[in-house]
Amino acid sequence: MRHRLIVPSAAAACLLLAIPASAADATPGAPGVGDSYYPTAGNGGYDVSHYDLRLKYQPKTDKLEGTATLLATTTQKLSRFNLDFALDVSEVLINGKKAAYATTGAHELEITPSSPLEKGKQISVVVRYSGTPSQVKIDGFTAWNRTPDGAVVAQEPESAYWWFPSNDHPTDKATYDVSVSVPDDVQAISNGVLASQSSKLGWTRYNWRSTKPQASYLTTLAVGKFDITTDTTANGLPVVNAYSKDLGDNAASAKASIERSAEIVDWGSTVFGPYPFNALGGYVPNVKTGYALETQTRPFYSPSGFANGANTSLVVHELAHQWFGDSVSVKNWRDIWVNEGFATYAQWLWSEKEGEGTAQELAQYVYDSVPADNAFWTVKPGDPGADKQFDRAVYNRGAVALQALRNTVGDKTFFTILKQWPTENKFGNASVQDFVKYAEKVSGKKLAPLFDTWLFTPSKPGSLPAPGGKA
Ligand code: ARG
Ligand code: ZN
């Protein structure tokens, strides 16, 4: 992309002067957090604690405009720092003072404060912006999907930079207020709790609030005409589900699945420990994409997920991610197994509970039915590579790995691990290696060789350990 440098006049004058001595030890924040699959994901030098997004969206033109206010703490003395963002910026303020900014690369906004920022300082960053997100293509792709009556943004591993400036990596979670004004004939859906809504001059503003740490890619927005159902769980959590009014034959099957979210979360709480968040639900916009995403508290589902009738298993997968992926997040995107292996295994446990096949039977079936020469076995779930991050091996072989663990340590220890891991790492980040160490600690067994076999070997393992925990 073009390199633009826009310097406000006051700052321009200073830049002509020599750099003051106090600035000498200030350095630029890194343009990435050091993720091995996505070197430009996230940024260094600061930690965001809160995003306040105040947006306005017109579905007819796909025009998005707004102001993002970020509260952050500097982690080094900063001469400048980056945000990940791809829309057009008209102004940046740091602590209320105009800052210079430039667009570099495909999705980096480089911000230079009028004077260096001390380490350990709380700062506010205001970014005013606008754009037509569906037109902003990066490598030919946009995560912002227009629908017949609105738009939706839900994508992994990156989607934020099509709609708000962020430190776009799961290692920097924050709380969110997402306030979106839309024409009165549509609604805006996001994460967490709908704190309030109000209408004036033909526009309705929806104020969504996420008060638990949330990764940027799990922050979602959908605008459109929805049927909204609300309820309260037995524990008093608000449930909000939203179904596009344009789902046709899939509406009933989507509802028959997603309306079971509270029941599934209650079941999950007995297996994975307390539900980490204070709201739940799901939403189905009228998009043609064929995946679902564990957007925090309120997963995104494609209508196609319900094209063959109810699909409770899919809802179990996305809700299991609330523990595995959303509360306990990857440290590095190569750790994707700590998300997908567990969410898939949760589907197997649900099947076991429903009497539709035990996890052992399902694992044995994956093992037996995929021949050794199938490319499936060449993918290492513990480090699949960016291009294979969502390969079915990460999911299915990843879940077989957990069955191999269960068979090796026995049910009692296995279910202790499954419940304690999300509790001990609540709202944190963990690597595959962290899980291996944790399982070794709880079981008192040396398990690294088992995980090497199931997660890090690019060929079919010789056999699946037999159930019984005698290994
Ligand atoms: N984490 C998502 C899931 O629940 C996968 C998203 C994959 N993204 C995609 N564009 N296919 O499995
Ligand atoms: Zn998943």
Give the mean pLDDT per block of 10 residues along the chain (471 residues).
Answer: 40 47 85 97 98 98 98 98 98 98 94 98 98 97 98 98 98 99 98 98 98 98 98 93 97 98 97 98 96 98 98 98 99 98 99 98 98 98 98 98 98 98 98 98 98 98 86 43
CA dihedral 339, 215, 105, 100 (to 10 degrees): -170
What residue owns the CA closest to ligand 1's atom 2? 293
The ipTM (two decimal places) reads 0.96
Axis crossing angle, helix 337-354 with helix 359-369, rounded to the nearest 10: 120
Structure tokens at 353: 């509970």
Residue 381 · residue 341 · CB < 8 Å: yes
What pTM did the predictor assign? 0.94
- Please give the single-letter amino acid code of residue 381: P
CA proximity to 228, closest of 157, 158, 298? 298
The number of the ligand nearest the C-alpha atom of 388 reads 1
Q: What is the 319 CA–ligand 2 centroid distance (Å)?
A: 9
- The answer, yes or no, to whether any atom of ligand 1 lies below 6 A from the CB of 293, is yes
What residue owns the CA closest to ligand 1's atom 9? 291
The environment of the single-atom ion ligand 2, i.e. residues with CB closer than 5 A, is 340, 343
Q: What is the 338 CA–ligand 1 centroid distance (Å)?
A: 14
Residue 407 · residue 367 · CB < 8 Å: no
Question: According to the model, what pLDDT value does residue 14 have?
Answer: 43
- The answer, yes or no, to whether any atom of ligand 1 lies below 6 A from the CB of 292, is yes
Question: According to the model, what pLDDT value does residue 18 have?
Answer: 52
Question: According to the model, what pLDDT value does residue 342 have?
Answer: 99
Evaluate the CA torsion angle 346, 351, 355, 359 in order and state its sign. negative
Q: What is the 157 CA–ligand 1 centroid distance (Å)?
A: 9
Structure tokens at 344: 């898939």
CA proximity to 75, closest of 101, 43, 107, 102? 43
Q: Which residues contact 200 (CB under 8 A, 6 or more apart)?
A: none
CA proximity to 415, closest of 349, 365, 316? 349
In sequence order, the β-bridge partners of residue 78 are 27, 117
Evaluate the CA torsion angle 137, 142, 146, 147 in order and state its sign. positive
Question: According to the model, what pLDDT value does residue 7 have?
Answer: 40
- The answer, yes or no, to whether any atom of ligand 1 lies below 6 A from the CB of 390, is yes
Question: According to the model, what pLDDT value does residue 20 have?
Answer: 55
Question: According to the model, what pLDDT value does residue 235 have?
Answer: 86
- The answer, yes or no, to whether any atom of ligand 1 lies below 6 A from the CB of 215, is no
Atom of ligand 1 nearest to the CA of 390: 7
Atom of ligand 1 nearest to the CA of 395: 12
- The answer, yes or no, to whether any atom of ligand 1 lies below 6 A from the CB of 291, is yes
Q: Looking at residue 166, what DSSP letter applies?
A: B
Atom of ligand 1 nearest to the CA of 340: 12
Atom of ligand 1 nearest to the CA of 291: 11
- The answer, yes or no, to whether any atom of ligand 1 lies below 6 A from the CB of 294, is yes
Question: According to the model, what pLDDT value does residue 234 have?
Answer: 86
